[in-house]
Amino acid sequence: MNSVVTKMDRLGHRETVAIAVLFVALAAFPLVANWLDSPYLIRVATRILVFAIAAVSLDLILGFGGMVSFGHAAYVGVAAYVVAILSFHATNDPFTVWGISFTGTHSALIAWPAAILCSSLTALVVGAIALRTTGVYFIMITLAFAQMIYFLFMSLQQYGADEGLALAQRSDLAGLSLGNRATMYYVVLTALGLVLLVLYRLVRSKFGMVLRGCQQNERRMRAIGFKTYRYKLTAFVISGAIAGLSGVLLVNNEAFVSTADLHWLRSADLLIMVILGGAASLFGPLVGALLWVCLEFVLEGLTPHWHMILGPILILVVLYARRGVWGWLATERAGHA
């Protein structure tokens, strides 16, 4: 029996080719960078892939769930800080609260799940409140919470406040040396691939169908018996957890975290990556992250007024490529997804 749920649920020929080309190029990139004798580019590329993970996590709730979270950098930043703080206490004094002291850790097996858990819990609290509203109120509440978290870390003198916190030591991950550029790059690329695979399955699962149904017509979904709040909140927490994963990788790539990683401008960057690349496409935000960081990099070199060029480009994309660069590049026909 033919069981197509929507036209977009099967990868088209062009999209399959585009994904294959993209991943081959990404896998080969460190070799190219070394051949060009510019190994520092590997760190830049790693940073882009880290942002891509965060942008893909945002796409889950924005593109598939219709939830415009304007504070997504918070979940990235919280996890990054947790890793850095645990590492800080493993190197310096233990952390003491109410007379009990905790030593930190450099172990990825402990620090990373702890960091992702913290991001998930943050997303749970924010989502539980924000999802009681919709539209512009939802956007404002997610932004307000993100700003609260930003100012919280801004006030932590012990952890560098506005100067940021250097990572005392990169996480120990199964004997891998994350200080090695290429190793770090492939760890992040693997994580991105896994995230895309999981979300690719998820948006086509029963859960994903409910989420996408809510985006299209929540009233209808409630009328047929879905308690939509719990599904949307679950998606919000999953998104926060994946953003947390990106934060864990971010701090290990840069060996540094600062409040800039939590700032609303970073949240705006993530939104732009999703919209530029193409919402509800999963692979689009990856392309969006690539383009956005590269454009910034190139235009910054040309003129100090690079925002003047970047802005109009974004407007053109929104006006003429409603489904983003990915929709324009990788899908066969225009029209509905």
Partner 1 sequence: MHNPATLSLRSLIKRFGAVTATDDLSLKVAAGELHAIIGPNGAGKSTLIAQIAGELPSTSGDVLLDGQSVTALNAPARSLLGLARSFQITSLCNGFTARANVALAAQAHAGHSFRFWRSAANDSALLAAADAALAKVGLAARAETLAGALAHGEQRQLELAIALATRPRMLMLDEPMAGMSKEDSARMTDLLASLKKTCTILLVEHDMDAVFALADRVSVLVYGRCIATGTPSEIRESASVRQAYLGEDAEATT
The residues of the shown chain that bind partner 1, judged by CB under 8 A, are 1-7, 9, 201-202, 204-210, 212-213, 216-217, 219-228, 231, 234, 336-337
- Output 7 or 14, the one with its CB closest to partner 1: 7
HSE toward the beta carbon, residue 297, CA cutoff 13 A: 11
Q: Which class for 213: exposed (0-12), middle (13-18), buried (19 or more C-beta within 10 A)? A: middle
Cα–Cα distance for residue pair 279/162, rounded to 1 Å: 33
Please report how close the Cβ of residue 208 comes to partner 1 at its closest, in angstroms.
Answer: 7
Please report how close the Cβ of residue 219 comes to partner 1 at its closest, in angstroms.
Answer: 6
Tokens of 2: 């033919």
Tokens of 202: 């998820």
- Output 207 or 306, the one with its CB closest to partner 1: 207
Please report how close the Cβ of residue 104 comes to partner 1 at its closest, in angstroms.
Answer: 33
Q: What are phi and psi of 178, to 5 degrees?
A: -75, -10
Please report how close the Cβ of residue 229 comes to partner 1 at its closest, in angstroms.
Answer: 9
Please report how close the Cβ of residue 209 comes to partner 1 at its closest, in angstroms.
Answer: 5
Cα–Cα distance for residue pair 136/145, rounded to 1 Å: 14
- Output 202 or 299, the one with its CB closest to partner 1: 202
The answer to whether 55 and 274 have CB atoms below 8 angstroms apart is yes
Please report how close the Cβ of residue 102 comes to partner 1 at its closest, in angstroms.
Answer: 33
- Output 132 or 220, the one with its CB closest to partner 1: 220
Reported as type and span, the H/E element at residue 126 is helix 108-130
- Type of residue numbered 30: P
Q: Which class for 251: exposed (0-12), middle (13-18), buried (19 or more C-beta within 10 A)? A: buried
Q: What are phi and psi of 175, to 5 degrees?
A: 75, 0
**Angle between the N-to-C axes of helices 73-91 and 40-62, in degrees from 0 to 180, rounded to the nearest 10:** 130
- Output 9 or 296, the one with its CB closest to partner 1: 9
- Output 160 or 208, the one with its CB closest to partner 1: 208
Please report how close the Cβ of residue 326 comes to partner 1 at its closest, in angstroms.
Answer: 17
Region of 310 please: left (phi>0), alpha (psi -120 to 50) or beta. Answer: alpha
Tokens of 132: 């009681």
- Output 12 or 164, the one with its CB closest to partner 1: 12
Is residue 290 helix, strand or coil? helix
- Output 66 or 247, the one with its CB closest to partner 1: 66
- Match 């830049």 to its residue by tokens: 44
Please report how close the Cβ of residue 15 comes to partner 1 at its closest, in angstroms.
Answer: 17
- Output 45 or 221, the one with its CB closest to partner 1: 221
Reported as type and span, the H/E element at residue 138 is helix 135-154
Closest CA to 259 of 122, 116, 78, 89: 78
Please report how close the Cβ of residue 191 comes to partner 1 at its closest, in angstroms.
Answer: 18
Give every CB contact of residue 206 below 8 A, 6+ residues apart in sequence. none
